[in-house]
Amino acid sequence: MKIIDAVAERYKQVFTWQDHMLRGMSFDEILKAVPPDTRVVGISNLYTFAFMVACEIARRIKQKYPEVIIVFGGAHPTVMTQQTMARPEVDFVVLSEGEYTFKDLLQAIDKGGGWEDIDGLAYRKGGEVIINPKTKFVHDLDQIPFPRRDLLPMANYFQAREPHGSANRLRWTTMIATRGCPYGCTFCNTPQIWQRRWRSRSSKNVVDEIVQLQKDYGIEEIHFEDESLTTNPKWVLDFARELKQRNVDIIWQTSNGVRAESITEEALDVMIEAGCTQVTVAAESGSPRILKDVIKKRLNLETVRQAVRLAGKKRIFIACYFMLGLPDERISDVLKSISLAVKLAIYGADEVVFSIFSPLPGSKLLERLIQEGKVRVDDHFFNGLTPHGDL
């Protein structure tokens, strides 16, 4: 959201109320934070479980300020656009990569119309929902400004100590160096959001942001939240070498997971030398049948075993993720996953996590479950779908 703020501020003055990390904000406090002369309110909705809360915030703002234009964006509205636009309090939905779509929308609002030509935008016309498909993506990610972290109470985030991964130092933050994933796993909604595209910022641009974070906030550790950071092994090597060449004293980890086949001895050596302290791989299942026929994940489990052995040899922390409760999963498949997890622990895995499968909106598996009548997408579904279910 702070990247959207940065882009929008290049166009016109944007008011952003303070993030209340740790303490939270009541609905009344949120309403009080909206200035009376506000014209547009943007609400970023990443997780499905937060959708109903986002809608309630929008409803209350609309009730108090009927003329305010409400714009939703983020992963959930992108993959559930019709359902989002069915909410009377929502005027527009910005799909997928929203930086420049949102800026174009602000310009169109100033002109009193013209959203018919805006790429990746949903709107209403004569009571009908119109969705302009997302066809244009930013080719050069370096042109996108760094997130406006100065609009956040960063000290609260340091105090929270709730990293996605295991924080080794006090002052840490998250970053995203790449966008998208080229793979088509059926449990994931990334293929619909990013259309199986993968792009990266230059290694120099990423290191520039790290250096700025160290200067402004004394950041000591970076957690990369990319969908697939190591898709291009050459990029990873270039990034690690850029850190070394510039003598940047930082530690970092791939919290969100990387492809097992990208964890080679050469890559690990360079990454460790450049400050990498943890890698994460997601086997998802120990059953080749589940991988091939159900979740369509192109993964040879031997590469997972090799990656863990190599990480153990290099003494770098490695975490492995699995899912249980997948459609068509049999007891024999579960036992294969447990067996593989035990072996990975013996090979040197520092952490093995089992989570309960959640049918993510926008995923092929949810579409299938809906068609089979096993899932009904309603408000109860949105409220009950959590981002993860660790055992």
pLDDT at 148 over 90: no
What average pLDDT does range 269-284 have in this prediction? 95
The answer to whether residue 361 sits within a structural domain is yes
Give the C-alpha separation, 98 to 297, whole Å: 28
Co-location of 184 and 80 in the same domain: no
The answer to whether residue 153 sits within a structural domain is no
- Written as one string, the DSSP assignment of 63-90 is HH-TTPEEEEESHHHHHSHHHHHTSTT-
CATH of residue 212's domain is 3.80.30.20
pLDDT tens digits for range 157-170 = 777 666 555 666 67
Which domain does 41 fall in, by range? 2-131
Co-location of 302 and 190 in the same domain: yes
Amino acid at 35: P
pLDDT at 56 over 90: yes
Task: Measure the CA dihedral 284/287/291/292, to 10°.
Answer: 180
E-strand ranges in 132-177 read: 172-175
Co-location of 8 and 106 in the same domain: yes
DSSP state of 258: B
pLDDT tier for residue 19 given thresholds of 50, 70 and 90 = low
What average pLDDT does range 58-82 have in this prediction? 95
pLDDT tens digits for range 105-121 = 999 999 998 999 999 99
Where is the domain boundary, 89, 110, 131?
131
Give the C-alpha separation, 208 to 98, whole Å: 23
pLDDT at 18: 57
What is the pTM for the complete model shown? 0.88
pLDDT at 129 over 90: yes
Co-location of 207 and 348 in the same domain: yes
Co-location of 120 and 180 in the same domain: no
pLDDT at 3: 47
Co-location of 263 and 169 in the same domain: yes
- How many domains does the chain contain in total? 2
Co-location of 232 and 318 in the same domain: yes
Give the C-alpha separation, 212 to 313, whole Å: 34
pLDDT at 241 over 80: yes
Co-location of 112 and 242 in the same domain: no
Co-location of 207 and 340 in the same domain: yes
Co-location of 292 and 352 in the same domain: yes
Range with the lowest mean pLDDT among 54-58, 164-168, 322-326, 358-362? 164-168
pLDDT at 10: 52
pLDDT at 322: 97
The answer to whether residue 174 sits within a structural domain is yes
pLDDT tier for residue 153 given thresholds of 50, 70 and 90 = confident
Co-location of 64 and 175 in the same domain: no
The answer to whether residue 263 sits within a structural domain is yes
C-beta neighbour count of 306 within 10 angstroms: 17
pLDDT at 133: 92
Give the C-alpha separation, 324 to 338, whole Å: 10
pLDDT at 155: 80
pLDDT at 330 over 90: yes
What average pLDDT does range 337-357 have in this prediction? 96
Co-location of 122 and 168 in the same domain: no
pLDDT at 390: 43
C-beta neighbour count of 191 within 10 angstroms: 20
CATH of residue 6's domain is 3.40.50.280
Range with the lowest mean pLDDT among 19-33, 62-76, 137-151, 190-204? 19-33
pLDDT at 240 over 90: yes
User: Between 389 and 137, where is the model more confident?
Assistant: 137
pLDDT at 6 over 80: no
The answer to whether residue 150 sits within a structural domain is no
pLDDT tier for residue 140 given thresholds of 50, 70 and 90 = very high
Where is the domain boundary, 81, 111, 131?
131
pLDDT at 11 over 60: no
The answer to whether residue 152 sits within a structural domain is no
pLDDT at 179 over 50: yes
pLDDT at 141 over 50: yes
End-to-end CA distance of the chain: 31
Report the percentage of the chain scoring pLDDT > 70.
89
The answer to whether residue 142 sits within a structural domain is no
Closest-CA residue to 5 (of 138, 103, 125): 103
pLDDT at 12 over 70: no
Give the C-alpha separation, 128 to 143, whole Å: 35
The answer to whether residue 10 sits within a structural domain is yes
